[in-house]
Amino acid sequence: MDIVGISYIVNFFINNEVIGSDSEALMKLMPIIQKGFMPSIGDAINNEGEREKAIQLKKEDDDISSTVTFARKAILIQITSEKLINNNLLIEKIKEILTAINENISFGKANRISSIINTIVNYNTEVENKLYTRYFNGDADCFEWSLRKAKRINIKGEEVNSITSIERGKAKKSNHLSGKTSDIDVFLITCDSNTIIENNNERFSIDDNSIISDLVKETEIRTKAIING
């Protein structure tokens, strides 16, 4: 499959406020900023679905971009590339970010965590026929279609929602030279592993990377099975 872009997302959801979005908060993050992250103030969606201001830190490293968003009750980490990232390198980058956060911010433990991988693949009929016939009956003669499967699995004693979605549709592609955007036909593959909402106990420490590594690995396995299947 011809991958246009891929994003790896790790989310920590916390019952108390993580950090503000003012100059005092930026000072607390200065040791992380000094590691090459550029700060900005952006928007984040809170637990009530409302937009609010949040500090974002972004770092470009060769062909990999890392963004950390400090929402009011969540820390959102996104690592993006135009190709699959080696698992060891991916986990190394996630651990590097988590270690830097843990050394500079104290906020207790998270009550929920998630790992999401979004993969955008260029459209072609061969890929569509392979994907469509794997999950549906008949010919792939639809200009748009979608699939969503969700089940419960167990990872290290944690009940986890394992969600897979695939859809064919349109995406915006930007030309970095002209600044213009165009619509292209793509497949969007999303694999999501998240701890269940019914368990709201504060139990995930940001300095314990083992459960995060396992969630990321589970979403990677499913993503690669679809891409290479």
Measured CA to CA, the distance from residue 21 to residue 55 in angstroms comes to 5
Tell me the pLDDT band of 47, cut-offs 50, 70 and 90: low
Task: Note the pLDDT of residue 48.
Answer: 64
The more confident residue out of 167 and 47 is 167
Measured from the Cβ of residue 82, the count of other Cβ atoms closer than 10 Å reads 12
Measured CA to CA, the distance from residue 105 to residue 25 in angstroms comes to 10
Task: Note the pLDDT of residue 75.
Answer: 93
What is the Cβ-side half-sphere exposure of residue 193, based on CA atoms within 13 angstroms? Answer: 23
pTM of the model: 0.91
DSSP letters, 136-193, are SSS----SSEEEEEEEEEEETTEEEEEEEEEEEEEEEEE-TTT--EEEEEEEEEEEEE
DSSP letters, 109-145, are -BSEEEEEEEEEEE--HHHHHHHHHHHSSS----SSE
- Give 104-107's long-range contacts (Cβ < 8 A, gap of 24+): 104/28, 104/29, 104/31, 104/32, 105/18, 105/19, 105/28, 105/29, 107/14, 107/16, 107/17, 107/18, 107/19
3-class DSSP state for residue 199? coil
Structure tokens belonging to residue 228: 């290479």
Measured CA to CA, the distance from residue 116 to residue 157 in angstroms comes to 20
Contact call for residues 75 and 55 (beta carbons, < 8 A): no
Amino acid at 57: L
pLDDT in tens, 136-195: 887 778 888 999 999 999 999 999 999 999 999 888 776 655 667 888 899 999 999 999
Nearest to 69 by CA among 5, 10, 8: 10
| Annotated domain spans of the chain | 3-228
pLDDT mean across residues, the chain: 89
Nearest to 101 by CA among 200, 19, 215: 19
Judged against a pLDDT cut of 80, whether residue 119 lies above it is answered with yes
